Amino acid sequence: MIIGGSASQKLAAKVAWSLEEKLSPIETRRFPDGERYIRVKGEVPKEVVVIQSTGYPQDENLIELFLLLKNLKSLGVERTRVVIPYFGYGRQERRFKSGEAVSAVIIAELLEAAGASEIYSVNLHEKNIKQFFNIPVHEISAMPMIANYIKETIDDPIIIGPDKGALGFAEEVSGILKCECDYLEKTRISPEKVETKLKNLDVADRNVVIIDDIISTGGTIVNASKILRDLGANKVVVGCVHPVLVEDALLKIFAAGVDDVFATDTLKSDVSTISVASSVAGYLKKYE
């Protein structure tokens, strides 16, 4: 049985269809003071899959997930596999300043305490999150699906990471497509001046695809897009796994001269054109 939380209803339906599994409806509403009411309708089997992304509003989506997991456990479910397409609170996986909460560790502990048996997530922002769990954690890469989308929509692309941190994603996509890739490297010229330029390739008159795992404020993408335009790129397209897209991030990106933006449906957004449902279903089938 597949149970989709409020943040991932459409994705859950697609996964259920792909696996030919029953999709169980849930009833969720708010009390007048804002607290959540959760009810799982119908009988539940001994094994279930819960799909709930934990992006904005993170706190609400996490509380709903915790309520679902603990409720299922009390209803007699013995194995609850939890698909968290976007793992909220996963960016702080260490204490940088004294007194800081290490949110990734806390969320991992709460998920286990609530009743999660296994975790499935798509492109974790920090890879070491997996070590915070005492249960199996399966990381799904969306790069093959992104590569397939690029193959079908863009001729002769160059894949670019907007910074060195995104190079791994660019290399994975370019490796699938058998095309060139590069990244934008920052070099400090003086204490006040930093120069950003491509490490190796020439993008003049080429179709460029910028790839990253998360786009939040859009600042990094805007900077990269302007540089690539200045270098003579013919077309600049931006793709990511998790379209967080805070406030007017999308507007700023298009204003920087980007031709198109695409993302997966780990989060709901206007640019979530690629579904991770088939990959999630494949992983669930693999580890059933």
Question: Which residues belong to the active site?
Answer: 186
Q: Which of 112, 110, 113, 50 is nearest to 81 (CA)?
A: 50
- Angle (CA) 281 287 288, round 5°: 80
Report whether 159 contacts 180 (CB < 8 A). Answer: yes
Return the CA Rg of the chain. Answer: 20
Report d(CA 251, CA 4) in Å as an integer: 30
Give the contacts of 41 (CB within 8 A, at least 6 positions apart): 24, 25, 26, 27
Tell me which long-range contacts 273-277 makes (C-beta under 8 A, separation of at least 24).
273/149, 274/142, 274/145, 274/146, 274/149, 275/11, 275/14, 275/145, 276/11, 276/85, 276/122, 276/140, 276/142, 276/145, 277/11, 277/14, 277/15, 277/17, 277/18
Amino acid at 229: R
Q: What whole-number distance in Å separates Cα of residue 177 and Cα of residue 148?
A: 8
- What's the angle, vertex CA 69, arms to CA 63 and CA 71, rounded to 5? 100
